[in-house]
Amino acid sequence: MKVHGRCHCGAIAFEAEVDPSRVTLCHCTDCQMLTGTAYRTTVPAAASTFRLTRGTPATYVKTTADSGHPRRHAFCGTCGTPIYSAAMDNVATYGLRVGCLTERSALAPTRQIWRRSALRWSANIEHLPGSDTQ
């Protein structure tokens, strides 16, 4: 599936090919901190299909606690929107942030990882009152 993404302010734009059956929710504490919410939703894109069409993202290198491997996290230097994460060298895939993809409504999660860190309240929020707008 061809996807198109951009940051909130529009300074960064990109496109890639993804497999919609590979969308993942990550509950790790790093993803909670880096998104400012309960989990991160990501879909992998082969490096050969990923193409920046506008701008150059800023990057932050985070060494993962479990594996000890450094990962490059790319984001818009103007608005802060997370764009992707990738290995430091020999990038095979980019972990695209589903929230910045135009096609996000077609990319439902198919699995969850790091459930041991999941915030208990995030599992079921259907009972909360809500409104269609604010």
Using one digit for the tens of pLDDT, what is the confidence trace for 30-64? 899 989 999 999 999 999 999 999 999 999 998 87
Range(s) of the domain holding residue 90: 2-119
> Is it the case that residue 65 has pLDDT exceeding 70?
no
Tell me the CA end-to-end span of the chain in Å, nearest whole number: 32
How many structural domains does the chain have? 1
pLDDT at position 69, please?
Answer: 83
- Give 67-126 pLDDT, tens digit per residue: 778 889 999 999 999 999 999 989 999 999 999 999 999 999 999 999 999 999 988 888
Q: Where are the beta strands (DSSP E) in 10-133?
A: 13-17, 24-26, 40-46, 51-54, 58-63, 70-75, 82-87, 93-97, 111-113
Residue 134 within a domain:
no
Burial of 128 (0-12, 13-18, 19+ CB in 10 A): exposed
Q: Which of 49, 46, 27, 50 is nearest to 38 (CA)?
A: 27
pTM for the structure as a whole: 0.91
Is 54 within the bounds of a domain? Answer: yes
